[in-house]
Amino acid sequence: MQALLFAARNCPNIHVVYGRDSSWFPRGHVTRYLDDQLGICPELGLPDDHLRAIFAGNAERLLGLDTTTG
């Protein structure tokens, strides 16, 4: 979380993208890791729109994902 805090305080929020890897079995998304990170976010004191950008919006924009349709 120290790295996220440093990046969020020193870079424009549009340049920060949350990423993680999982080296434990089973491979793939492990919800509890994301939940841990999101649980710490209020302590960072970042506005909600910055957190939204870092955890989803910037990746969606960079990858050209259309999030307006279900």
What does each of the 70 residues of the chain score in pLDDT, given as a tens digit? 677 778 777 888 788 888 776 666 666 667 887 888 888 888 888 888 988 998 889 999 999 998 776 5
- The DSSP line for 1-48 is -HHHHHHHHHS-GGG--------SSSPS--HHHHHHHHHHGGGGT--H
60 with 49: CB under 8 angstroms? no
Q: How far apart are CA 57 and CA 61, in angstroms?
A: 6
HSE on the CB side for 25, CA within 13 Å?
Answer: 0
Q: What are phi and psi of 23, to 5 degrees?
A: -100, 10
This prediction has a pTM of 0.69
